[in-house]
Structure 1
Amino acid sequence: MGPLHFFLDVDVRRRDSNFFLSQTKYAEELLDRAGMVSCKPAATPIDTKAKLSSSSSAAVRDPSEYHSIAGALQYLTITRSDIAYAAQQACLHMHDPWECHLAIVKRIPRYIRGTTSYGLHLRGMTSTPSIIAYSDTDWASCPYTRRSTFGYCIYLGNALVSWSSKRQATVSRSSAEAEYRAVANAVAGCIWLRQLLGELYVDIPSTTIAYYDNVSTIYMSKNPVHHRRTKHIDLDIHFVREQVALGELHVVHVPTDQQFTDVMTKGLPTATFAAFRSSLTVGTSDAATVGGDNGGLHRVFRTPPTAHDAVTP
């Protein structure tokens, strides 16, 4: 059958041990379907303003347009982790979209208009394989339910292989509760990936590293003393702490300006968004031509720091 080049609207380009996955054709079809081929490009997929309440505008007369755009955006997130949060916010209102929600949804194609050639870079590993995760939470961010939005990014070596942006299923009474639940979800994703690789006979000898920017969350993962204020998240604490005790997981502090998963939980200023998008290894195919893992590629995409680079409280 030969090398893979195109599969289910995903274009695959290979160079040495690196892959570039993009959905340029699908993105152009999405713009055409939305009638936004000639729209003015936007620098970011979602602005930094607070989430809008449905009471601030009228209901959409024809929800089919909203459903069509929001549904199509979900499939585009296969290779575009940079729009995961925006698409997640759009899908929250699929059941009853209002005009304010439609305005938010139409901003995403404007961003895609200027980045149709962008895709996901998967870089081959030149050293011992490792699993690194970042997780973050925007506490009580939903104006309707006050549920928190959490997100995580999981790297296999320098390749981003798994990411998520979701609204938590229950309301968190404190930011620490919301943040610890986010860490637990990221750790669960890492365990699943390690087990999957094990079934494929790929051994990961190194400890999984989970980066977080909240010091209290890191203390809870290592402190064996239970406190009555943490009983409501006891299962998540036991789950993470058990992995730490077994030596399978190391929770490390990361500075806020290196917390890439902010892209998955909130709207960011243009400069910050561009820097974090690069850290998610999303860009044009030209970025793959500057070098491999030990070459110039690190000048284009910020490499996730190792445990020695991060600050442990």
Structure 2
Amino acid sequence: MKETENDVTVVGVYVDDLILTGSSATLIDKFKHEMKKVFEMSDLGLLSYYLGIEVKQNSESITLCQSSYASKILEKAGMSDCNSCRIPMDPRCKLSKHDEEPPVDATTYRSIIGSLRYLVNTRPDLAYSVGVVSRYMESPTTSHMNAVKQILRYVKGTLDLGIVYKKNQECEALIGYSDSDLGGDTDDRKSTTGILFFLGESPITWVSQKQRIVALSSCEAEYIAATGGTCQGIWLTKIIASLRGNNQVKPILKIDNKSAISLANNPVHHERSKHIDTRFHFIRDAVKNGDVKIDYTRTEVQLADILTKPLGRQRFLELRDKIGVKQV
């Protein structure tokens, strides 16, 4: 990224593929001209495809999807003609590393998982289920592969889903959601953090990740998730500030656990929280310094819920729509 007094130019590079954007058409043309002096390059015009991601642009919106890439995953897995299903993971699904089921080919399993993980770049609705099956790549069994096949059947029925970023949305607020289950992993009883941030009406970053320590209560699990959300929000604030040339956007993090909010807002020593690792108290300083604002949200409108556990069909489809995954 290069900044001048009034303009900014951003270049994304992967090996020999470049994406170029900026606030000044003159500076963009100048960059192209200077690069062509040094390298043999082809200008492919307005971005339409990049590393498996399809981009549709018009005067009102930008759409991101991976329909072709998803179809290739199904073909690689031998499931191009499979029956589709409505959800990627059954709410009753309980996977374990020690299920004593017959083993499956680990190389094939890892290859499919790797492809699905890349698909999550435009499909936050897949983040949780793909994250769960990723935990069993060392010694996958039949039950793990069956869970992967359900994800693939869901992908089969949702090839046309993606994310739309519309012009003229109100983008003055950076709204985030953080959530956690409690002890959802059947092997080590660690919880899963879900983090989701919006700028305007569409998601710009999402995380579904198993926590590194065992939480002793839902308050602690939510507090750990909120600390991760705070770090993510501050990072996004800095990126947006560098792109916009100002620092006006401050993250608002929505949490559905009042005890975790009290713990973040009140730096007084608590007997019940004295065992929590120091690094998770980063959120207290961030709240005190005004780097992030913590708000309470009801559980039924906690959008990060879709990133922490397998949901029933009605709840899953409701949240999928609310987090901005649409037909494109």
TM score, norm. by length of structure 2: 0.83
Within the alignment, does 1:279 sit opposite 2:327 as a pair?
A: no
Residue 57 of structure 2: which of 14, 34, 38 is its match? 14
1:261 counterpart residue number = 304
Among candidates 144, 152, 172, match of residue 215 of structure 2: 172
Gaps of 5+ in 1: 286-313
Q: How does 1:1-313 map to 2 (within 5 A)?
A: 1=43, 2-127=45-170, 129-233=172-276, 235-236=278-279, 238-285=281-328
Task: Give the whole-Å Cα distance in 2 for the aligned partners of 1:242 and 1:127.
Answer: 28
Q: Deviations over 1:103-158 (max 9, x none)?
A: 10110010000000111122334445221110110111111111111110011122
Instruction: Report if the CA contact (8 A) 2:175-2:198 is conserved.
Output: yes
Deviation at 1:202, TM superposition (A): 4.1
For 1:254 and 1:130, the matched residues in 2 are separated by 16
Contact conserved, 2:182 with 2:221, CA < 8 A, in 1?
yes
Counterpart AA for 2:57:
R
Question: Using CA pairs below 8 Å that are at least 6 residues apart, which structure has the higher relative contact order?
Answer: 1
The 3-state SS of whatever aligns with 1:160 is: strand
Shift of 1:64: 2.3
Question: What code does the residue aligned with 1:218 have?
Answer: I
User: How far off is 1:243 after superposition?
Assistant: 1.8
| 1:16-38 residue CA offsets vs partner (Å, 9 max, x unmatched) | 24211010000111111111111
Q: How far apart, CA to CA, are the structure 1 residues paired with 2:170 and 2:113? A: 40
Q: 1:225 to 1:54 in 2, by over 3 A?
A: closer
Deviation by residue 1:38-84 (Cα, 9 ceiling, x = unmatched): 11111000110142234434232422221121111011001011000
Q: Which structure 2 segments of 5+ residues have no match?
A: 1-42
Secondary structure of 1:109's counterpart equals: helix
SS of residue in 1 equivalent to 2:252: strand
Q: Is the 8 A contact 2:237 2:249 kept in 1?
A: no
- Check conservation: 2:88, 2:126, Cα contact below 8 A: yes
% identical equivalent positions: 34
* Contact kept in structure 2, 1:160 and 1:280, CA below 8 Å: yes
SS in 2 for 1:252: strand
Residue 234 of structure 1 deviates from its aligned partner by: 5.6
Change (3 A) 1:246 1:113: same
- 1:253-296: CA deviations, max 9, x gaps? 111111111111111111111110111111111xxxxxxxxxxx
Aligned residues, how many?
Answer: 285
Flag the 1:41–1:222 CA change in 2: closer, same or farther, 3 A: same
4+ residue segments displaced more than 6 Å: none
Secondary structure, counterpart of 2:282 in structure 1 = helix
Contact map agreement 2:234 2:291 (CA 8 A) in 1: no
